[in-house]
Amino acid sequence: MIIECENTEDDILAFNYYHFEHSPAARRDQYLMRYVIPITASVVLTLISGFYELVLWSTVFWLGVLLVWILLFPKLYWWVLERQLRSFLREGQNRMMIGKRVFSLEADSVVETTESGQSKTKWNAVEKIVKNEDCIFIYNSSVTAYVVPRRAFESEDEFNRFFETAGKFKAQSATTT
């Protein structure tokens, strides 16, 4: 099965958003940044201020800061992540990530061909295959993936058939190795 498409900066961002939402390590880091670190800091700062007899005022103040942080953290986190990712993408030409490409699903591998080169990954090396409302992500490592945007397909059926074919080849490779 062969699909031609053009990946954009937004497609790469979509992958990173998906990955950061579903990665256990990223989720753990988000939890630490949103709850553990601010609560610990609030307790420590309240205790320190207790030496200066400002316990009630400082407790109310730090609880207020903590509440604001917990409420604003998700929006701030995704805003900072998007800014960083866009900045990283502008550091180079990223020809292997952005631009026209052809994906070919073969019985033993997935092949991505761009103007700059070709990448071939055997199905037994593919970590996982997932999709969201915008793309199919064929993970070729725990943190990178081939990104196949939905708009490359003429229909929902073709999108689902590509996803299912990739999954079938991946499953077959697991039984033969």
Same domain, 113 and 156: yes
Same domain, 44 and 111: no
CA distance between the termini of the chain: 23
* CATH number of the domain residue 104 falls in: 2.30.29.30
Contact 83, 103 (CB under 8 A): no
Same domain, 36 and 73: yes
Q: Which amino acid is at 124?
A: N
DSSP state, 8? Answer: -
Predicted confidence (pLDDT) per residue in 114-158, tens digit? 988 899 999 999 999 999 999 999 999 888 899 999 999 999 999
CA distance 134 to 150: 5
Domain boundary among 28, 55, 89: 89
Predicted confidence (pLDDT) per residue in 58-70, tens digit? 677 777 888 888 8
Domain boundary among 89, 122, 139: 89
pLDDT at site 177: 57
Domain with 113, as residue range(s), is 2-8+96-176
Question: How many folded domains does the chain comprise?
Answer: 2
Q: Higher-confidence residue: 3 or 98?
A: 3
pTM over 0.95: no
Same domain, 107 and 145: yes
